Protein backbone atom coordinates (compact mmCIF):
# COMPACT_ATOMS: atom_id res chain seq x y z
CA UNK A 1 0.00 0.00 0.00
CA UNK A 2 1.27 3.46 -0.91
CA UNK A 3 1.54 6.04 1.86
CA UNK A 4 -0.83 8.97 1.37
CA UNK A 5 0.65 12.32 0.43
CA UNK A 6 -0.18 14.95 3.03
CA UNK A 7 -1.81 18.17 1.88
CA UNK A 8 -1.92 21.69 3.27
CA UNK A 9 -2.49 22.66 6.02
CA UNK A 10 -0.94 19.53 7.61
CA UNK A 11 1.63 20.52 10.27
CA UNK A 12 4.32 18.15 8.92
CA UNK A 13 4.55 20.31 5.79
CA UNK A 14 5.81 23.24 7.89
CA UNK A 15 8.33 21.27 9.97
CA UNK A 16 12.09 21.58 9.74
CA UNK A 17 13.31 18.04 9.17
CA UNK A 18 16.06 16.26 11.08
CA UNK A 19 19.29 15.17 9.39
CA UNK A 20 19.58 11.50 8.53
CA UNK A 21 22.22 9.72 10.62
CA UNK A 22 21.41 6.04 9.99
CA UNK A 23 21.96 4.69 6.49
CA UNK A 24 20.23 1.34 6.76
CA UNK A 25 17.52 -0.90 5.32
CA UNK A 26 14.80 1.26 6.88
CA UNK A 27 16.08 4.29 4.94
CA UNK A 28 16.13 2.31 1.69
CA UNK A 29 12.58 1.10 2.38
CA UNK A 30 11.46 4.68 3.03
CA UNK A 31 12.81 5.85 -0.33
CA UNK A 32 11.07 2.96 -2.11
CA UNK A 33 7.79 4.03 -0.47
CA UNK A 34 8.47 7.59 -1.53
CA UNK A 35 9.05 6.59 -5.15
CA UNK A 36 5.84 4.53 -5.13
CA UNK A 37 3.84 7.49 -3.79
CA UNK A 38 5.49 9.93 -6.21
CA UNK A 39 4.86 7.80 -9.30
CA UNK A 40 1.27 7.06 -8.23
CA UNK A 41 0.50 10.77 -7.68
CA UNK A 42 1.95 11.27 -10.46
CA UNK A 43 4.80 13.64 -9.62
CA UNK A 44 8.44 14.22 -10.45
CA UNK A 45 9.67 14.77 -6.90
CA UNK A 46 8.64 14.02 -3.33
CA UNK A 47 10.09 14.96 0.05
CA UNK A 48 9.81 12.82 3.16
CA UNK A 49 7.66 15.29 5.13
CA UNK A 50 5.04 15.02 2.38
CA UNK A 51 4.38 11.49 3.62
CA UNK A 52 4.74 12.43 7.28
CA UNK A 53 8.41 11.50 7.82
CA UNK A 54 10.39 14.42 9.23
CA UNK A 55 13.78 13.43 7.78
CA UNK A 56 15.99 15.27 5.28
CA UNK A 57 15.25 12.97 2.36
CA UNK A 58 13.78 13.61 -1.08
CA UNK A 59 13.46 11.66 -4.28
CA UNK A 60 13.04 12.76 -7.86
CA UNK A 61 12.67 11.41 -11.37
CA UNK A 62 12.62 14.35 -13.76
CA UNK A 63 12.28 12.33 -16.97
CA UNK A 64 9.89 9.47 -16.29
CA UNK A 65 6.86 11.23 -17.78
CA UNK A 66 8.59 11.88 -21.10
CA UNK A 67 11.20 9.15 -21.42
CA UNK A 68 13.27 6.77 -19.39
CA UNK A 69 13.12 6.50 -15.62
CA UNK A 70 15.97 8.29 -13.85
CA UNK A 71 15.15 7.86 -10.15
CA UNK A 72 17.47 9.71 -7.77
CA UNK A 73 17.67 9.82 -3.97
CA UNK A 74 18.97 12.85 -2.07
CA UNK A 75 19.74 12.67 1.64
CA UNK A 76 20.82 15.65 3.77
CA UNK A 77 20.99 17.80 0.63
CA UNK A 78 22.34 21.32 0.82
CA UNK A 79 22.62 23.97 -1.84
CA UNK A 80 26.25 25.07 -2.08
CA UNK A 81 25.89 27.75 -4.74
CA UNK A 82 23.05 29.29 -6.70
CA UNK A 83 23.18 31.15 -9.99
CA UNK A 84 22.27 34.81 -9.39
CA UNK A 85 20.09 34.74 -12.51
CA UNK A 86 16.51 33.87 -11.64
CA UNK A 87 13.95 32.19 -13.85
CA UNK A 88 10.23 31.98 -13.23
CA UNK A 89 8.53 28.60 -13.67
CA UNK A 90 4.99 27.44 -13.04
CA UNK A 91 5.29 24.96 -10.18
CA UNK A 92 2.81 22.45 -8.90
CA UNK A 93 3.08 20.58 -5.61
CA UNK A 94 1.59 17.22 -4.71
CA UNK A 95 0.76 18.66 -1.27
CA UNK A 96 -1.14 21.60 -2.78
CA UNK A 97 -3.54 19.90 -5.20
CA UNK A 98 -4.90 21.65 -8.28
CA UNK A 99 -2.86 24.80 -7.85
CA UNK A 100 0.17 26.11 -9.71
CA UNK A 101 2.17 29.17 -8.85
CA UNK A 102 4.83 31.18 -10.68
CA UNK A 103 8.01 30.81 -8.62
CA UNK A 104 11.27 32.70 -9.22
CA UNK A 105 14.28 30.48 -8.52
CA UNK A 106 17.98 30.45 -9.38
CA UNK A 107 18.51 29.14 -12.91
CA UNK A 108 21.12 26.65 -11.70
CA UNK A 109 22.38 25.31 -8.37
CA UNK A 110 25.25 23.21 -7.07
CA UNK A 111 24.10 20.63 -4.54
CA UNK A 112 25.86 18.38 -2.02
CA UNK A 113 24.00 15.30 -0.78
CA UNK A 114 24.40 11.79 0.52
CA UNK A 115 23.26 8.55 -1.06
CA UNK A 116 21.63 5.53 0.60
CA UNK A 117 25.02 4.27 1.83
CA UNK A 118 26.03 7.67 3.24
CA UNK A 119 28.43 8.49 0.40
CA UNK A 120 28.79 12.20 -0.32
CA UNK A 121 28.16 13.61 -3.79
CA UNK A 122 28.17 17.02 -5.41
CA UNK A 123 26.51 17.97 -8.65
CA UNK A 124 25.26 20.83 -10.79
CA UNK A 125 21.59 21.09 -11.71
CA UNK A 126 19.88 23.35 -14.22
CA UNK A 127 16.58 23.49 -16.08
CA UNK A 128 13.83 21.22 -14.77
CA UNK A 129 16.28 19.37 -12.53
CA UNK A 130 17.22 22.63 -10.77
CA UNK A 131 13.57 23.49 -10.18
CA UNK A 132 12.83 20.06 -8.72
CA UNK A 133 15.83 19.90 -6.38
CA UNK A 134 15.13 23.41 -5.08
CA UNK A 135 11.40 22.71 -4.65
CA UNK A 136 11.99 19.42 -2.81
CA UNK A 137 14.88 20.81 -0.76
CA UNK A 138 12.56 23.61 0.40
CA UNK A 139 10.13 21.01 1.78
CA UNK A 140 12.84 19.86 4.21
CA UNK A 141 12.73 23.30 5.83
CA UNK A 142 8.94 23.61 5.85
CA UNK A 143 8.88 25.95 2.84
CA UNK A 144 6.13 25.58 0.23
CA UNK A 145 6.20 26.97 -3.31
CA UNK A 146 3.28 29.23 -2.42
CA UNK A 147 5.56 31.02 0.08
CA UNK A 148 7.36 32.66 -2.85
CA UNK A 149 4.32 34.54 -4.10
CA UNK A 150 1.70 36.85 -2.70
CA UNK A 151 -1.61 35.04 -2.95
CA UNK A 152 -4.93 36.86 -2.55
List, as one string, the DSSP characters of 55-102.
BSEEEE-SSTTTSS---EEEEEEEEEEE-S-EEEEEEEETTEEEEEEE
Q: Which residues pair with 111 in a beta bridge?
A: 79, 123
Rounded to 5 degrees, φ, ψ at 91 are: -115, 140
Other beta carbons within 10 Å of 105? 21
Nearest residue to 10 via CA among 108, 135, 142, 111:
142
pLDDT at 2: 78
Cβ-contact 106, 82 below 8 angstroms? yes
The pLDDT tens digits for 124-133 are 999 999 999 9
The pLDDT tens digits for 91-138 are 999 999 999 999 999 999 999 999 999 999 999 999 999 999 999 999
Domains, the chain, in order of start with CATH, read 11-148 (3.90.45.10)
The pLDDT tens digits for 42-101 are 999 999 999 999 999 999 999 888 888 899 999 999 999 999 999 999 999 999 999 999
136 catalytic? Reply is yes
pLDDT band at 151 (very low <50, low <70, confident <90, very high): low
Residue in 32, 78, 90, 136 annotated catalytic: 136
Amino acid sequence: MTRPILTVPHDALRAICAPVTHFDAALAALTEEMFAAMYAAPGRGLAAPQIGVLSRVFVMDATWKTGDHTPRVFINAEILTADPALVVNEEACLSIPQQTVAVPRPRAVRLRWQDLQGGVHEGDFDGTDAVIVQHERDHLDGILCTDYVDLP
